[in-house]
Structure 1
Amino acid sequence: MEQIRRTKITDLLKTTETGQIVNVKGWVRTKRGNKQVNFVALNDGTCIHNLQIVVDVPNFDESQLKRITTGAAVSINGEVCASTGSGQAVEVLAKEIEVMGDCDVDKYPLQPKKHSLEFLREIAHLRFRTNTFGAIARVRHAMIFAVHQFFTQKGFLNIHTPIITASDAEGAGEMFKVTTLDLDNLPRTEEGDINFKEDFFGKATNLTVSGQLEGELAALAMGEIYTFGPTFRAENSNTSRHLAEFWMIEPEMAFYDLNDNMDLAEEFLKFLIKYALDNCLDDLKFLSNRLQEEEKGKKAEDKTMELIEKLEFVLSNDFIRLPYTEAIDILKNSKPNKKGKFKYPIDGFGSDLQSEHERYLVEKHFKKPVILTDYPKDIKAFYMKQNEDGKTVRAMDVLFPQIGEIIGGSQREENYDKLYNRMTEMEIPAEEMWWYLDTRRFGSVVHSGFGLGFERLMLFVTGMGNIRDVIPFPRTPKTAEF
C-alpha cells in the first residue's frame, strides 16, 4: 500500500477541494451495501462525524472486504469526491485498503445499535468508541485547556499540591489511608494502637480531599495561584453525584475579599461555558439531541432545559447574590415547602440546603444563577472567615440550574486567634496543622478561594445525568475496574 501522510477526518470534512488522493485511518462504525458497492462509516475520534468511504466491490478481494467489519481498524488511500448523500460535503472513493486490526465481530460488544449507559459503564475500556463518550472526551479536553487558559491569562500560577497528605482539609474524616505497613502483621504501640512511626512517612497519611490548604501557603507568597489535580473521598455513597476519585480546580488569592471571590467565580464559569460553545458546538449539539431523545415521553414539567439553551442561560444572566438568611426566608415561605413537596423541609436558620432547594432558587424563584453567602458557621469548614455576628461565616456557594451547587468557596480566616479557637472547637489538632497556623503569624492578609469539582462542571456542560459518565474510568464503592 502506497505511503501517504494521514489526514485526520475532522480536517478532511472541512475541505471543499476534491480530486486529491488522501490517506485516512480509523475504526469502522458500520458497513452497508450490495455486490457492487459498499459504504463504510469511518471514525478516528477527532470529531463526532463519520467519514463515508465508498468501496467499489469488484475492485477488491472478497476475503479482504469480509474483514472490514464494525470495530475493525483500517487504513484507506482514496480520492476525495463530492458527496452525493446528505450530511457531509465530501466522501472518499477507496483505491487501496489495509485492515490494520481485525475485530471479532461476534464477540464485539459495541454493535450498531443503542446501548444503555449502564451497559457501557461495564465496558468502559471500549465506550470511548461510541459517539456519546467520544463527545464527552473531547469536551473534557476542551474544558481542561480552558481552565489553564483562563488562569494563565489572568496571571495565576499553577501549583501542584500533594496527593498524599497528613491533613484533612474538610475535617470530614472520609479519607483513603496510605500505608506501606504489612496489613497482616501491623506494628502496635504499648497501648495497642497501630504504630504509624514504623510506616513510610512516620505518621498516618491519606489521599488528599483538597489542595486548598497547601494552595493557601503558595497564595500567601505568590499572590494568585490555582491547583488542578485529583482528589479522593472515601464516602460510601453509591449515587449519580458521587465519585471516590475526582478532579478539583482550586484557586487561592491573596488580597481578595468575598466580593472579589464571587466576581472571579462568575467570570471563570462564564469563560468556561463560552469556550465550550465556541469550540465544542458539534459535540454539544449531538449531546443535546441525545438528551432530548432520552426525554421523549416525559411530561413537559419533568423535562430538563435544552442543553445549548441552558449554557446560554448562564452566559446571558448576571448571577444573583444574596445572604443565606434571605434564601432561607424565601424557601421557608415557598409553595413547595408549605405544601410538603420538598423531601427535606426547611425549618429555618441552620438548615443545610439540599440540591432541591438550590434548584428551586435558581430555576423557579430567581430564574438566574445564584450565589449564596454568609452561611451558618456550624455547617461550614473551620477555615472560613468568621463574621462579626458570631453566627455566620464569609462562605459562598454558586448555584446552577439542574445541578445545584457547582462552586463552593469562602474568604479565609486570616486572624490567628480566631482560626486557632475555631480549630479547637472542631477538635482539629492544632499541633498537626502548625504550618497552616504559621501563615497567620507571619504577614497574614485577607485572602479567599473556591473549589470547582471538574466532573460537576462536566455534568453541567454535557447534560449527562450520572457523574460516572463524565470521567473516563469511574471509581465508586465496590468498583475499581480498568
Structure 2
Amino acid sequence: MYIMKRTKIIDLLRGELVGQQVLVKGWVRTRRGNKAVSFVALNDGSIIHNLQIVLDLAKFSPEELTLITTGASLSVVGTLVASQGQGQTVELQAERVEVLGAADPTTYPLQKKGHSLEFLREIAHLRPRTNTFGAIYRMRHHMAMAIHSFFHERGFFYVHTPLITASDAEGAGQMFQVTTLDLENLPRTEEGAVDYKEDFFARPTSLTVSGQLEGEMAAMALGAIYTFGPTFRAENSNTPRHLAEFWMIEPEVAFLEIEENMDLAEDFIKYCVQWALDHCMEDLTFLSEHYDKELIERLRFVLAQPFKRMTYTEGIEILEAAVAAGHKFEFPIYWGADMASEHERYLVEEHFQRPVIVTDYPKEIKSFYMKLNEDGKTVRGMDVLFPKIGEIIGGSEREADYDKLLQRAQEVGVPEKDIWWYLDSRRYGTAPHSGFGLGFERLLLFVTGMANIRDVIPFPRTPRSAEF
C-alpha cells in the first residue's frame, strides 16, 4: 500500500512541484469565499507564508466544511497549480480534506483581527500560531544555530555547566534557592539556624546565575570553550529588559587578553547578525513591516563599521559634557557610577552612532574575578553597547593571580570556602584568560526589533508570573 509523504509548505512555495499531487498538513489561519468556492490559508510553521487551499464546495459535504474554521488542523491532498490570484505564486486544488483537529470558532482566541502583544502574553501557549511569534521562534532557532556554528568553526568546545550551584558567580546574592527541605517543618541546629546538613546536597544551593566559573575550569584544560544554557536571577525587576529565567552564551579562552577578547566579542555578534540577514530575511521583513521599520537597516548598520572602543573614564567625560550642554538624563552620571541604559544608548545612538565597547571600569562596580589594572582602581572589564538595547555583552580578562583574586573575593564578601576550587586554578598552572557573557534574549531583542524581552522567549518567567 502506497502512503503519500507529507510535503512542508516551505517546499511547496518554491513552485518546483507544480502539476503534482501532494499531501500537506497545517493549521487554518483564515477561510473566505462564496457559495461555490472557499479559499483556506494554511500554515504549518515551516515558513511565515501561508499556502492557499482552494476548495470546490460541490466536492465536499456540508459536515466537512463546517469544521474547517480558523485554528483547525487539516490534512489536504490535492494538485499544486500556479495561482491566478494575487498574493501567492502557487495554490493547492484540494481533492481530499481531513480535519485532524477542530477548533471551536466561538472560543478560539486567535481570530482574524489584530491582537496586542500584551494579550498574546496571556495566551502564551497559543501565541506561537501567530505570524509574529512564528517568526520570532524561527529566528530564535537560527540564532542558536549561528552561535554553535561560530564557535565550532573556531575550534571552541561546547561545555555543559551545572544549573545547581553552591557559589554565587556574580556575588550579588540574587539567586533562587534549591531545597528539598519541608518548608513547613524546617530542621534546626542547636543555635536555631536552618540545618542544611539535612538537605539534599547537605548545604545551601541555588540555581545558577552564570556558568562562567565552571567554564573557566574547562578553558584551563581545553583552551577555548563556550557554554550555552539557562541561567536564573531572582531580581525583582519588571522592566522590558529583564527575565528571571533566560539563556546565556559564555565563551572562555585561555591565553586570551582583553584586546583579543574585544575582537572575539565583535566578531561573534557580527557573525550572528549576518546569519540573521542571510537566513531569516522573510521573517525579518515581516517584523520590520509590522513592528520596527528600521530593523533591517539597523542590522546592516552594525555590520558596516568597526565598533568604537573607549575607556569608562572617557565615556563618563562624554556624558558629563552632554549634561553640561543641557542633555537630560533620568539617572545621575559621575565617575564611579554604573552606567544606566540611557547613558549607554546615548553613547551608541547619539554620540558615536555605532556600537561601542567600554573598558576599564571602576573595580567597585564590577565582579571580583575581573583582572585589576595597574592603577589599582579599575579592572579589565568590557561591555559591548548596542542601539536600542544598551549593554548586550559583558566580559573581562579574568584575574589570574591567586593572591589578588583572593583579596578581591574577600573585599566583596565571597566566602573562600565556596570558591576554593576556583582559586585552585590560580595555584596550578595559572594563565591569562578572558571571556564574556551574552544574554541570548538580549540578542533576540536586537535582531527581531521587539521591544519587550518577554516576547522573545516562549514562556517568560518574571516576578509573580510563572504561568504555563
Q: Which residue of 2 aligns with 1:349?
A: 335
Question: Match of 2:419, SS?
Answer: helix
Question: Match of 2:92, SS?
Answer: strand
Which of 346, 356, 363 does residue 377 from structure 1 map onto? 363
- 1:451-480, Cα deviation, whole Å (9 max, x unpaired): 000000000000000000000000011111
Asked whether the 8 Å contact 1:48–1:131 carries over to 2, the reply is yes
- The reply on whether 1:386 has 2:352 as its aligned counterpart is no
Q: Which residue of 1 aligns with 2:434?
A: 448
Question: Match of 2:94, SS?
Answer: strand
**Distance in 2 separating the partners of 1:113 and 1:270:** 37
Asked whether the 8 Å contact 1:4–1:77 carries over to 2, the reply is no
**Distance in 2 separating the partners of 1:10 and 1:340:** 50
- The reply on whether 1:324 has 2:312 as its aligned counterpart is yes
Q: Which residue of 2 aligns with 1:130?
A: 130
Which of 398, 405, 409 does residue 412 from structure 1 map onto? 398
**Distance in 2 separating the partners of 1:307 and 1:69:** 34
How many residue pairs match? The answer is: 468
Amino-acid identity (%): 66
Asked whether the 8 Å contact 1:246–1:454 carries over to 2, the reply is yes
- 1:318-368, Cα deviation, whole Å (9 max, x unpaired): 00001010111111001x56425100122x310210111111111111111
**Distance in 2 separating the partners of 1:127 and 1:422:** 47
Asked whether the 8 Å contact 1:16–1:90 carries over to 2, the reply is no
Letter in 1 for 2:275: Y
Question: Match of 2:445, SS?
Answer: helix
Question: Match of 1:206, SS?
Answer: strand
Q: Which residue of 1 aligns with 2:422?
A: 436
**Distance in 2 separating the partners of 1:422 and 1:259:** 23
Deviation at 1:85, TM superposition (A): 1.8
Worse-matched range after superposition: 336-345 or 422-431: 336-345
Q: Which residue of 2 aligns with 1:108?
A: 108
Q: Which residue of 1 aligns with 2:216?
A: 216
- The reply on whether 1:310 has 2:265 as its aligned counterpart is no
Letter in 2 for 1:343: E
Give TM-score, length-normalised by structure 2. Answer: 0.99
- The reply on whether 1:139 has 2:126 as its aligned counterpart is no
- The reply on whether 1:242 has 2:239 as its aligned counterpart is no
Q: Which residue of 2 aligns with 1:150?
A: 150
- The reply on whether 1:462 has 2:440 as its aligned counterpart is no
**Distance in 2 separating the partners of 1:4 and 1:13:** 19
Letter in 1 for 2:399: E
Map 1:21-40 → 2, pairs under 5 A? 21-40=21-40
- 1:107-165, Cα deviation, whole Å (9 max, x unpaired): 10101100010110010000000000000000000001110011011000000000000
Question: Match of 1:448, SS?
Answer: strand
Q: Which residue of 1 aligns with 2:74?
A: 74
Asked whether the 8 Å contact 1:16–1:89 carries over to 2, the reply is no
Deviation at 1:238, TM superposition (A): 1.3
**Distance in 1 separating the partners of 2:237 and 2:347:** 26
Deviation at 1:59, TM superposition (A): 1.1
Letter in 2 for 1:142: H
Deviation at 1:16, TM superposition (A): 4.2
Question: Match of 1:260, SS?
Answer: helix
Letter in 2 for 1:352: D
**Distance in 2 separating the partners of 1:418 and 1:457:** 33
Provide closer, same or farther for how the CA distance between residues 337 and 343 of structure 1 changes in structure 2, counting only shifts above 3 A. farther
Letter in 2 for 1:361: L
Asked whether the 8 Å contact 1:175–1:208 carries over to 2, the reply is yes
**Distance in 1 separating the partners of 2:15 and 2:211:** 45
Provide closer, same or farther for how the CA distance between residues 142 and 337 of structure 1 changes in structure 2, counting only shifts above 3 A. farther
Deviation at 1:438, TM superposition (A): 0.3
> Structure 1 runs of 4+ off > 2 angstroms?
336-340
**Distance in 1 separating the partners of 2:440 and 2:460:** 13
- 1:358-407, Cα deviation, whole Å (9 max, x unpaired): 11111111111100000000000000000000100000000011111000
**Distance in 1 separating the partners of 2:3 and 2:254:** 57
Worse-matched range after superposition: 84-93 or 188-197: 84-93
Deviation at 1:17, TM superposition (A): 4.2
**Distance in 2 separating the partners of 1:369 and 1:43:** 38
Give TM-score, length-normalised by structure 1. Answer: 0.96
Deviation at 1:3, TM superposition (A): 4.0
Deviation at 1:2, TM superposition (A): 8.4
Q: Which residue of 2 aligns with 1:185?
A: 185
- When the two chains are superposed, the root-mean-square deviation of aligned CA atoms in Å is 1.2
Question: Match of 1:252, SS?
Answer: strand
Letter in 2 for 1:341: K
Q: Which residue of 1 aligns with 2:264?
A: 264
Residue segments in structure 1 that go unaligned for 5+ positions in a row: 293-304
Q: Which residue of 2 aligns with 1:277?
A: 277
**Distance in 1 separating the partners of 2:302 and 2:86:** 34
Residue segments in structure 2 that go unaligned for 5+ positions in a row: none
Deviation at 1:86, TM superposition (A): 2.2
Q: Which residue of 2 aligns with 1:395?
A: 381
Letter in 1 for 2:339: L
Which of 426, 430, 433 does residue 412 from structure 2 map onto? 426
